[in-house]
């Protein structure tokens, strides 16, 4: 996989890695233990992202090294992750709830921790690490009761503009942030 990407990007390196994989296998606190369901969520939502990101780090470093400034930007080199507010510890007010969110929540919390850790570890390489939480979107995974339709998502373009202006020229303080649909950072 890296060989194919390297053939495309050449000496420029990889400027943006967008991690957008996600799986949601229902799992409740009050159910029969099922390690496989927890591991399936974790492997896709956290471990897979960690490994894929590590695989592409040499190409991201190559892109970042072409700049002589100390800036962090998506024009230089960035790892952008689609996460979920369900991974927030402080915002968890429903537990696993009626939707069986336990395994999904812990896997997205792990993703959030992974990205915070990588943002610190990759600071010396000037690689921007950012997370974006688009909200609950109607998809095969999100279901029909989600709050945002893909078609209606265009009303959130304002948020995208905020995201772009925030991250295109980020300071080291700003790059350790998560953007959620409310526009809070």
Question: Can you tell me whether residue 178 is helix, strand or coil?
Answer: strand
pLDDT level of residue 92 (50, 70, 90 thresholds) = confident
Domain boundaries, the chain: 2-179
Helical spans, DSSP H, in 19-127: 35-42, 48-64, 102-121
**Per-residue tokens: 140:** 């095969």
Active-site residues, by number, are 104, 108
pLDDT at position 137: 58
Q: How many residues does the chain have?
A: 185
Question: Can you tell me whether residue 45 is helix, strand or coil?
Answer: helix
Cα separation values, 44 from 9, 20, 134, Å: 26, 10, 18
pLDDT level of residue 183 (50, 70, 90 thresholds) = very low
pTM score: 0.76
Output 161-165 pairs: Cβ under 8 A, ≥24 positions apart.
163/132, 164/74
pLDDT level of residue 140 (50, 70, 90 thresholds) = low
pLDDT at position 13: 94
pLDDT at position 172: 45
Instruction: Considering the domain delimited by 2-179, tell me its CATH architecture.
Output: 3-Layer(aba) Sandwich (3.40)
Q: Read off the pLDDT of residues 143-182 as tens digits, 9 standing for 90 and up.
A: 566 556 655 555 555 455 445 544 544 444 444 444 444 3
Residue of 84, 82, 80 lying closest to 101 (CA atoms): 84
């Amino acid at each position: 996989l890296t060989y194919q990407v390297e053939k495309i990007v050449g000496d420029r390196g990889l400027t943006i890695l967008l991690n957008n994989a996600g799986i949601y296998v229902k799992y409740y606190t009050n159910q029969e233990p099922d390690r496989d369901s927890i591991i399936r969520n974790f492997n896709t939502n956290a471990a897979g992202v960690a490994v894929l990101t590590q695989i592409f780090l040499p190409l991201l470093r190559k892109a970042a090294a072409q700049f002589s400034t100390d800036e962090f930007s998506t024009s230089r080199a960035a790892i952008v992750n689609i996460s979920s507010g369900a991974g927030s510890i402080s915002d968890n007010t429903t537990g696993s709830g009626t939707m069986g969110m336990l395994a999904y929540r812990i896997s997205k919390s792990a993703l959030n921790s992974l990205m915070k850790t990588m943002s610190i570890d990759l600071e010396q390489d000037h690689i921007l690490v950012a997370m974006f939480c688009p909200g609950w979107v109607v998809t095969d995974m999100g279901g029909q009761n989600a709050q945002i339709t893909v078609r209606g998502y265009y009303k959130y373009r304002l948020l995208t503009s905020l995201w772009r202006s925030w991250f295109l020229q980020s300071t080291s303080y700003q790059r350790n942030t998560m953007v959620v649909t409310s526009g809070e950072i």
